[in-house]
Homo-oligomer: A and B are copies of this chain.
Amino acid sequence: MKAKLEDVAKLAGVSPTTVSRMMNNRGYVSEATKTKVRSAMEELNYFPNDIARSLFNKRTNLIGLILPTTANPFFGELTFHIENLCAAHGLKVLLCNSLNRIDKEEQYAEMLMRNQVDGIIVGTHNRGILNYKRANLAVVAIDRYLSETIPVVSSDNYEGGRLATQRLIDRGCRYILHFNGPAELETPAQLRRQAFEDIMQQQGLPHDTYEMELPLDREDQLAVIRRALDEHPEVDGIFASNDMIAASVIYEAGNRGMSIPDDLKVVGYDGTAVTSSLMPQLTTIRQPIEAIANTAITMLLREIEGEFDDTARQIVLPVELYEGTTA
């Protein structure tokens, strides 16, 4: 069986209190005793039971991470950075892929509460949020408005939308289509669409926006893209709200014998490392993924420690245009 603190104490000939004190560096323990205890730990191959400690401490150092799916490179990279930073802060990550499904989000929210997580980072719609409030849990949202009191970390979506749209116009596009997720008020990502529509309207240029539920598999994306291209044969520019969609647009354009960027210019969104590897030619808006992760963790830790600064309800990080050859 697994050794427990009591076994260590017995073997070392001291009380459990003393062993506990040693592990936590609390109170005085003589050098002689320390040595005895340490060798007892070695001998028994002892590891403290963090479950028992958590129960007493009312602090698990566990955080929940809810996002649509790590299969999407943006979230896969975000997850990597978040988990990495957590590990550096002694936090452990319980991963939840909700696929943006409300039923899953609710199940996960309950699961996290039962597991006494110290905080939650949410990158999904999440209606279960009401429950968090009651539990008065630390929560940080990424690119989502969840409630008045939950801080939001996002990149500058309006600026991203503006940069993408302007790039297409500068390159001579006069008829641009935009692909985005469903119009929902809760996410700042809608600002990309808003920027697009604002600018096109200002310039008096024809445009249209198509919505697709995310995550969507490739075939479904292609169906929307085909319809859009069919409905707008004059199109000469596309602003896609993520790089996968942009890639599918380019693929479908190829099927139709359109050449990129001559016949059609395409700008994507996210600009992950994976995109840089697999599609270095794609012009896209780069989100500062690591900075988003960093900011989210920092805010969450502040909330957990109770030093939450009420003024910083929303943090917006800069994006940049990556100039590929597709636009």
Q: Which residues of B contact A247 (CB under 8 A)?
A: 277-280
Minimum CB–CB distance from A7 to chain B (whole Å) comes to 14
With A274-B73, A278-B247, A278-B278 as known contacts, state yes or no: A94 contacts B97, CB within 8 Å. no
Q: Evaluate contact between A278 and B243: CB separation under 8 angstroms.
A: yes
Q: A55-B51, A278-B279 are in contact. Are A80 and B97 (CB under 8 A)?
A: yes
Q: In the complex, A83→B217 CA distance in Å?
A: 19
A54 within 8 A of B: yes
Hey, what's the 0/1 contact readout for A64-78 against B, CB within 8 Å counting as 1? 010001111101110
Count, chain A residues at interface, CB 8 A: 59
Which residues on the B side are within 8 Å of A301 (C-beta)?
none
Would you call A26 an interface residue if the criterion is a C-beta within 8 Å of the partner chain's C-beta atoms?
A: no
Of all chain B residues, the one with the shortest Cβ separation from A84 is B97
* A114 contact set on B, CB distance < 8 A: 47-50
CA of A52 to CA of B108, assembled, Å: 19
The reply on A256 being an interface residue by CB < 8 A is no
Are B54 and A83 within 8 A (Cβ)?
Answer: no
A71 touches B80 (CB 8 A): yes
A244 to B73, CA, bound (A): 13
Are B244 and A277 touching (Cβ within 8 A)? Answer: yes
A60 within 8 A of B: yes
Cα–Cα, bound, A52→B52 (Å) = 8
A97–B273 CA distance with the chains assembled, in angstroms: 16
User: With A and B bound together, what is the CA distance between A81 and B71 in angstroms?
Assistant: 9
Residues of A with Cβ closer than 8 Å to B? Answer: 2, 45, 47-52, 54-55, 60, 65, 69-73, 75-77, 79-81, 83-84, 87, 92-97, 104, 107-108, 110-111, 113-116, 131, 134-135, 217-218, 243-244, 247-248, 251, 273-280
User: What are 30 inter-chain pairs, A to B, with CB distance below 8 A?
Assistant: A2-B135, A47-B113, A47-B114, A48-B114, A49-B55, A51-B51, A51-B115, A69-B80, A70-B76, A70-B77, A71-B77, A71-B79, A71-B80, A71-B273, A72-B76, A73-B274, A75-B76, A80-B97, A83-B96, A87-B108, A92-B94, A92-B115, A95-B95, A217-B273, A244-B277, A247-B277, A248-B277, A251-B280, A274-B274, A278-B279
